[in-house]
Amino acid sequence: MLAYSGPQIHRCQVDSVRFAWTHCGRASSTAAEREREFRNLAGFVGGVSYGAVLVFPGEQLLCADSCVSVCDRVRRFVCASGGAVADAAAAILVFVRRTNSSFATHAALVRRVIGHAQRRLLATRRSVYVVADVGPAVGLPTLQGLVPPASGSVHVAVYSGAKPLFSPISCVVVALHSPLPRVLQRL
């Protein structure tokens, strides 16, 4: 019997990954694939040393009811674990819930939240992890143009709980890291 060795996280290429494009041509994930995504992402995000959890949108009226949302399941798992730490350098977790398309566009909200995270939440020695549902079900087939390119002021990585091209992706974690100041890099 194979022992569980922790979450299987896959790095996504922001410029080229299409969340619904697979070798077999399937555009939507099965319940088993979403369960695997949930386990992998919950293990990954739950293992981050975090101090604050933010949820957008905050108003329930703007959110779509969705029992298939991997992002919402990860959020409930993390909040129930009570793993927040009181450390100024601890990461901030940001969850972007599925929106009701009558009130808001999910892709536009994800863009605004990632921009807000980069401009306001990212600080030296503190990372921000933005968790969001993606794919055709939420009108977000790719992150191209939504995620800032890596630069000298911010390092960006996108992770999924399923392997791109082999399984449709329904949730990602966008990790924003601020590099250490040059003074600390020389030490």
Give dist(CA 187, CA 67) in Å, integer.
49
Report the share of the chain in percent with pLDDT over 70.
Answer: 75
**Element housing 130 (H / E):** strand 128-133
Give dist(CA 48, CA 43) in Å, integer.
9
Range of lowest pLDDT (38-42, 58-62, 108-112, 165-169): 58-62
Beta-strand relationship, 155-160 and 10-12: antiparallel
Q: What values do phi and psi take at 61, rounded to 5?
A: -60, -35
- Position of tokens 């299409």? 18
Q: Which residues pair with 126 in a beta bridge?
A: 123
pLDDT of residue 121 exceeding 50, the answer is: yes
State mean pLDDT over 126-139.
87
pTM: 0.85
pLDDT digits (tens, 9 = 90+) for 145-159: 777 766 667 888 899
Helix pair angle (70-81, 31-46), 10° resolution: 40
pLDDT digits (tens, 9 = 90+) for 63-106: 666 777 889 999 999 989 877 777 767 899 999 988 766 667 88
Q: What values do phi and psi take at 123, rounded to 5?
A: -135, 165
Which CATH number is correct for 10-185, 3.30.379, 1.10.10, 3.30.70, 3.40.50? 3.40.50
pLDDT at 155: 86
Whether the upstream peptide bond of residue 136 has omega within 30° of 0, thus cis, is no
Beta-strand relationship, 171-177 and 155-160: antiparallel
pLDDT of residue 173 exceeding 90, the answer is: yes
State mean pLDDT over 106-127.
85
Q: Which two tokens stand for residue 113?
A: 């939240």
Q: Give the best-scoring range by mean pLDDT among 26-35, 107-116, 158-167, 174-183.
A: 107-116
State mean pLDDT over 20-48.
79
Q: Please give the single-letter amino acid code of residue 148.
A: P
Range of lowest pLDDT (30-34, 56-60, 127-131, 183-187): 183-187
